Amino acid sequence: MTLVIGLTGSIASGKSTVSLMFDDFNIPVIDADKISREVVRPGEKAYEQIVDTFGGEILRDDQTIDRKKLGAIVFENEDKRQALNSIVHPAVREKMLERRDAHVDTGEKCVVLDIPLLFESKLTNFVDKTVVVYVDEQVQLERLMDRDGYSEKEAYQRIHAQMPVKEKAELADAVIDNNGSKYDAYQQLESLLREWDVL
Ligand SMILES: CC(C)(COP(=O)(O)OP(=O)(O)OC[C@H]1O[C@@H](n2cnc3c(N)ncnc32)[C@H](O)[C@@H]1O)[C@@H](O)C(=O)NCCC(=O)NCCS
Ligand SMILES: Nc1ncnc2c1ncn2[C@@H]1O[C@H](COP(=O)(O)OP(=O)(O)OP(=O)(O)O)[C@@H](O)[C@H]1O
């Protein structure tokens, strides 16, 4: 039996940081953000739909989608964010499930689905257990501004486009508190995997 873990959090709470740690335990991770880049490459159905909906202004010279421009549009306007979600999410879901099932079929002990919008998109039925990477909002804001160079307003727009991470923590089977060091988070992950009999 494969244990399927849904890993989530809020923007810049540390999902990718924790997701890399699964490597140390030889546990495969399926990353929804990565897949959401694959399904919007030129030639893909979602690419055509995005260009039809948002216009050619969101393209770079090489015809790929300018993610900064598209991000600025959708995090400013909730209806537009929902429109983008309804184009991209079905394609992401399909690919994630294909990859999850491939790992289940080969008898992997554990597989992780890293999905930022796991709770918002009601995808908890894709997984057996949920883990939230939690940080306090002030730490989240600082790490987000630091990492991506957003202004405070831009950072808050992105934070508020998701369910507050505190609420996600209440819904989770387990929480990794990432307010401390990365090593601290690593130790919490290791003891959780022991508790769940994965190691
Ligand atoms: C808006 C886009 C173009 C911005 O691209 P950019 O490269 O700047 O950001 P990236 O994709 O790396 O996402 C960074 C983080 O933003 C948050 N985020 C992304 N999309 C959304 C969304 N639609 N709603 C709320 N938060 C989001 C997530 O926490 C994600 O981890 C891009 O995020 C996108 O296409 N989003 C729609 C698809 C989606 O929902 N992806 C997230 C999970 S599948
Ligand atoms: N414990 C920590 N101590 C200090 N910095 C950290 C810690 N955890 C993560 N960071 C930094 O905070 C930033 C956000 O972390 P990360 O990219 O892992 O978040 P994320 O949840 O995957 O973000 P996104 O939702 O945008 O994909 C990164 O610059 C990362 O290096």
Ligand 1 neighbours by CB, cut-off 6 Å: 11, 32-33, 36, 67, 70-71, 74, 81, 84-85, 88, 92, 116-117, 158, 161-162
Q: Whose CA is nearest to atom 25 of ligand 2?
A: 11
Among candidates 162, 86, 79, which has minimal Cα distance to 117? 162
Give the three-state DSSP class for 48: helix
Spatial distance between the Cα atoms of 109 and 104, rounded to a whole number of angstroms? 8
Rounded-to-integer distance, Cα 49 and Cα 172, Å: 34
Domains observed in the chain: 3-195 (3.40.50.300)
The reported pTM is: 0.98
Helix (H) or strand (E) holding 10: none
Q: Work out the pLDDT band at 144, boundaries 50, 70, 90.
A: very high
At 181 the pLDDT is: 98
Per-residue pLDDT tens over the stretch 48-62? 999 999 999 999 999
Q: What values do phi and psi take at 47, rounded to 5?
A: -60, -50
What are the φ/ψ torsions at residue 174 (nearest 5 degrees)? Answer: -150, 155
- The band of 192, judged by pLDDT with boundaries at 50, 70 and 90, is very high
Calculate the alpha carbon distances from 34 to 103, 141, 174 in Å: 18, 23, 24
Say what the pLDDT of residue 163 is: 98
Question: How would DSSP label each residue in 57-73?
Answer: GGB-TTSSB-HHHHHHH
How much of the chain, in percent, has pLDDT values that exceed 90?
99
Residue type, 75: F
Answer whether 113's CB lies under 8 Å from 127's CB.
Answer: yes
- Is 36 labelled a binding residue? no
